[in-house]
């Protein structure tokens, strides 16, 4: 996936390569602008702000990271690396997915697309 | 309601009833010996319709060189006994397991006992064949750990359906194989210490054995087992198969039951074989595939084809002549770039780690150059076999919909499955914790949009690729994993520059839903014309005579690698 990640970054650089072929999907130019805006916004979110968001969400679920060492590169997991990974995830994944505009009358969510494709056969 | 519709409706209702009966035991409660579902099923497998192909068995001096089809034929002829065959594999395990570390449980006594009790019958196609089973398959009475802290003391009381079918076909449980913790990455202990090595380069730490099914792959490649099973959520059958010169098939979602497999996701887990050649893969899949009332995902699907007939091409000179059109994406034969941009974008605090990754990337680049050449040769061979090679364009939304962000839509599923364990103590997840935490952070809005995008991705693949061809080459498993389409992996060459020893180069082909038979035909035809699949790695003492006889010093995988490189 490394190569694809690089390509994505290139594609996100204001090019129109994110246009979608299926009629029910489109990358609205305004949304693409707002995606750029989203990227700017996420740069404005500091590590501390994201950490607060992450820890609040985990606390709400009852998941406690404080049992991990704070910063120990020799440990299987520590709070520093877990939070760093989570911050990177939040800065990339949700914005990119939400930036894809789908027609409200487009396809419904499908958990098993390959099966659905044959279940629909006459 | 037509007869077909009525059958599908009845099967679905039956499956929902079965699920309803077992769900209280699984959902919302931690898995323990007393809380597990007690459904014992082989999905109705009888094996009565599976007949061994009649092939000419190669003359070999060591029975561990035989494929499972060859061994099964010799067992029926009485030319080798199941005990002799099992003992031959146990002997190799005794000699080399300390180096390879492919197993976490080896069943010396019970495997031999099972071999002594074999009575070959027509409807037991695997009678007397020892098998290596990945350690996330439930095996009744045998510890099933998924290499995790969570299940380190777990012993199931029933068999996974797919293993039950192999067992009922006469298969012998030789051992449970090493894997990435909870099927996340290459095989390590829960704390991240690497276990299994690549059988072709056991003393070279930077040579990956493949994904989380690497224990099974190494066991088969090193001739410590004739065939193995794996699971794939993000490449873990096809990647280790390619890394170790094997033929692996990742079937379409629903083709093989997931009942009794420790889950990583609901929507992307797949079960399949890692085999020596396409014929063995066909036999294994023939036995494992089919509807299972305990897994509703297997119901209402097209009938299971005759995979053994699909690989029976020995008398055909041009076995791939029409209707086989093999699609090639435009960049498949491009000279690979030396990737650096991705690493440069990382946070400053990880600069050291990034430098190490840069060095790995340099070695990968050298290997990619050899891979490109091998791909060209493979396409020429397939064309000579009668296939039509056609250039196809990737769907215009391919880059977006197959990006790592859309691939990450799978993560909340694992987090939901293991939520109670995350609440109990996150330390139970060891080195693989990160994707579980990240899965908790993906909002439901994005999850739903991601699921819509998956169907759009499938439609675009079917409409824009598979209207032009019957199978398409792939360079990574993720796009087809994302939408549940089938993949076959097989060896197409070797290179020596990246590790100083010969390493297999593999190819992957993807197909339409439930077209595993076509993919197996292509792999079998290619293997009829080539001998890459017949090559075996040298024993460790030939690769490094001065190697110490004791265990090698293991490397470690980092938590951040699990997030980026794992399933």
* Ranges of each domain in chain B: 3-311
Span B20-59, pLDDT tens digits: 333 323 333 334 433 344 456 677 676 767 888 889 999 9
Q: Which residues contact B559 (CB under 8 A, 6 or more apart)?
A: A76, A77, A78, A81, A82, A85, B192, B431, B432, B433, B434
Q: Residue B365: its chain A contacts at CB < 8 A?
A: none
**B134 in active site:** yes
Which residues are CB-contacts of B320 (< 8 A; sequence separation ≥ 6)?
B382, B385, B386, B387, B521, B522, B525
Share of chain A above pLDDT 90, in %: 54
Question: Which sign does the torsion angle of CA B219, B223, B228, B234 carry?
Answer: positive
Let me know if residue A17 belongs to a domain: no
**B181: helix, strand or coil:** helix
Rounded mean pLDDT, B130-143: 98
What's the CATH number for B3-311?
3.90.1300.10
Residue A33 lies in a domain: yes
- For residue A122, the tally of other CB atoms under 10 A from its CB is 5
Contacts of A103 in chain B (CB under 8 A): none
**Residue of chain A whose Cα is closest to the Cα of B416:** A61
Distance (Å) from the alpha carbon of A61 to chain B's nearest alpha carbon: 8
How near does any CA of chain A get to the CA of B416, in Å?
Answer: 11
Does some domain include residue A97? yes
State the average pLDDT for chain A. Answer: 73
Residues recorded for chain A? 122
Tell whether omega for the bond before B40 is within 30 degrees of 0, i.e. cis: no
- Is pLDDT above 70 for B413? yes
Which of these, B32, B251, B318, B267, lies nearest to B156 by C-alpha position?
B32
CA distance B406 to chain A (A): 7
Residue B549 sits at the chain A interface (C-beta within 8 Å): no
In a domain, A31, yes or no: yes
Query: Would you say residue B342 has pLDDT above 50?
Result: no
In a domain, A59, yes or no: yes
Output the pLDDT for position B33. 37
| Cβ contact, residue pair B559, A5, below 8 Å | no
| Domain range enclosing A55 | 22-101
Residue B541 pLDDT greater than 60, yes or no: yes
* Total structural domains within chain A: 1
Average pLDDT over every residue of B520-539: 96
Give the integer Cα–Cα distance in Å for B396 and B388: 24
Residue entry with tokens 């038979």: B517
SS3 assignment, position B486: coil
CB atoms within 10 A of CB B360: 12
Query: Is there a domain that residue A32 lies in?
Result: yes
Is it the case that residue B99 has pLDDT exceeding 50? yes
A115 located within any domain: no
DSSP summary character for residue B254: T
CB contact under 8 A, B455 and A115: no
pLDDT higher for A84 or B546? A84
Token match 């995606």: residue? A35
Least trusted range by pLDDT, from A99-113, B373-387, B404-418, B509-523? A99-113
Q: Is A61 within the bounds of a domain?
A: yes
pLDDT digit string, tens, across residues B210-259? 989 999 999 999 999 999 999 999 999 999 999 999 999 999 999 999 99
**Mutant choice from B300, B334, B403 vs A, greatest count of A C-beta within 10 A:** B403
Is B403 a catalytic site residue? no
Q: How far apart are alpha carbons B293 and B298 in whole angstroms?
A: 8
B299 in contact with A, Cβ within 8 Å: no
Q: Could you give the CA distance from residue B183 to residue B181 in angstroms, rounded to a whole number?
A: 5
Query: How far is B179 from B147, CA to CA, in rounded Å?
Result: 6
* Inter-CA distances, B206 with A27, B201, B235, B339, B395, Å: 41, 9, 19, 17, 34
Q: Identify the residue with better confidence: B208 or A11.
A: B208
If you search the block for the tokens 């894997």, which residue do you land on?
B179
Give the active site residue among B162, B212, B432, B518.
B212
- B449 inside 8 A of chain A by CB: yes
**Chain B interface, best mutation among A114, A118, A121, A122, by max B CB count within 10 A:** A114
């Amino acid at each position: 996936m490394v190569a694809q990640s690089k390509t994505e970054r290139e594609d996100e650089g204001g090019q129109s390569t994110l246009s979608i072929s299926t009629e029910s999907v489109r990358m609205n130019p305004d949304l693409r602008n707002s995606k750029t805006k989203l990227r700017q916004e996420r740069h404005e979110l500091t590590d501390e702000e994201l950490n607060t968001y992450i820890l609040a969400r985990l606390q709400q679920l009852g998941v406690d990271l404080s049992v991990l060492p704070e910063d120990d590169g020799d440990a299987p997991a520590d709070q520093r690396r877990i939070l760093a990974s989570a911050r990177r995830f939040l800065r990339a994944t949700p914005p990119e997915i939400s930036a894809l505009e789908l027609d409200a009358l487009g396809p419904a969510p499908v958990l098993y697309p390959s099966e659905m494709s044959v279940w629909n056969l006459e | 309601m037509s007869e077909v519709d009525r059958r599908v409706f009845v099967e679905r209702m039956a499956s929902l009833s079965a699920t309803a009966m077992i769900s209280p035991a699984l959902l919302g409660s931690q898995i323990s010996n007393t809380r597990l579902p007690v459904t014992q099923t082989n999905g109705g497998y009888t094996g009565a319709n599976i007949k061994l192909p009649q092939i000419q068995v190669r003359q070999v001096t060591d029975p561990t060189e035989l494929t499972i089809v060859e061994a099964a034929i010799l067992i029926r002829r009485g030319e080798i006994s199941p005990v002799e065959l099992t003992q031959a594999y146990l002997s190799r395990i005794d000699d080399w397991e300390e180096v390879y570390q492919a197993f976490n449980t080896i069943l010396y006594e019970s495997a031999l006992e099972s071999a002594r009790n074999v009575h070959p019958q027509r409807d037991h196609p695997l009678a007397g064949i020892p098998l290596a089973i990945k350690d996330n398959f439930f095996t009744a009475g045998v510890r099933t750990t998924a290499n995790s802290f969570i299940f380190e003391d777990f012993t199931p009381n029933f068999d996974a359906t797919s293993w039950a079918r192999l067992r009922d076909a006469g298969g012998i449980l030789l051992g449970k194989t090493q894997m990435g913790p909870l099927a996340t990455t290459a095989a390590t202990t829960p704390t991240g210490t690497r276990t299994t090595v690549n059988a072709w380069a056991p003393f070279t730490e930077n040579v990956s054995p493949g994904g989380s099914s690497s224990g099974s792959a190494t066991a088969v490649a090193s001739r410590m087992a004739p065939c193995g099973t794996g699971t794939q959520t993000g490449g873990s059958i096809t990647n280790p198969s390619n890394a170790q010169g094997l033929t692996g098939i990742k079937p379409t979602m629903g083709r093989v039951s997931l009942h009794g497999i420790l889950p990583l996701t609901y929507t992307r887990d797949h079960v399949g074989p890692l085999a020596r050649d396409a014929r063995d893969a066909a036999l294994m899949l023939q036995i494992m595939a089919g509807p299972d009332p305990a897994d509703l995902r297997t119901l209402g699907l097209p009938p299971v084809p005759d995979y053994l007939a699909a690989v029976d091409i020995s008398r055909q000179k041009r076995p791939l002549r029409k209707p086989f059109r093999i699609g090639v994406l435009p960049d498949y034969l491009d000279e690979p770039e030396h990737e650096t941009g991705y690493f440069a974008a990382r946070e400053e605090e990880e600069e050291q780690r990034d430098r190490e990754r840069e060095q790995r990337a340099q070695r990968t680049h050298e290997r990619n150059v050899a891979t490109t050449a091998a791909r060209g040769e493979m396409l020429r061979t397939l064309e000579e076999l009668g296939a039509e090679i056609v250039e196809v364009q990737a769907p215009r939304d391919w880059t977006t919909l197959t990006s790592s962000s859309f691939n990450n839509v799978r993560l909340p599923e694992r987090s939901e499955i293991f939520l109670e364990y995350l609440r109990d103590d996150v330390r139970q997840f060891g080195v693989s914790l990160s994707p579980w935490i990240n899965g908790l952070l993906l909002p439901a809005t994005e999850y739903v949009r991601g699921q819509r995008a998956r169907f759009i991705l499938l439609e675009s693949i079917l409409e824009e690729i598979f209207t032009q061809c019957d199978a398409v080459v792939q360079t990574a498993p993720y796009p087809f994993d994302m939408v549940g389409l089938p993949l076959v992996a097989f060896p197409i060459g070797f290179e020596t520059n990246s590790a100083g020893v010969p390493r297999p180069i593999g190819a992957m082909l993807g197909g339409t839903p439930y077209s595993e038979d076509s993919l197996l035909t292509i792999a079998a035809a290619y293997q009829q014309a080539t001998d890459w699949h017949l090559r075996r790695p040298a024993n460790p003492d030939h690769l490094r005579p001065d190697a110490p006889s004791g265990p090698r010093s293991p490397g470690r995988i980092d938590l951040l690698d699990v997030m980026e490189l794992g399933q």
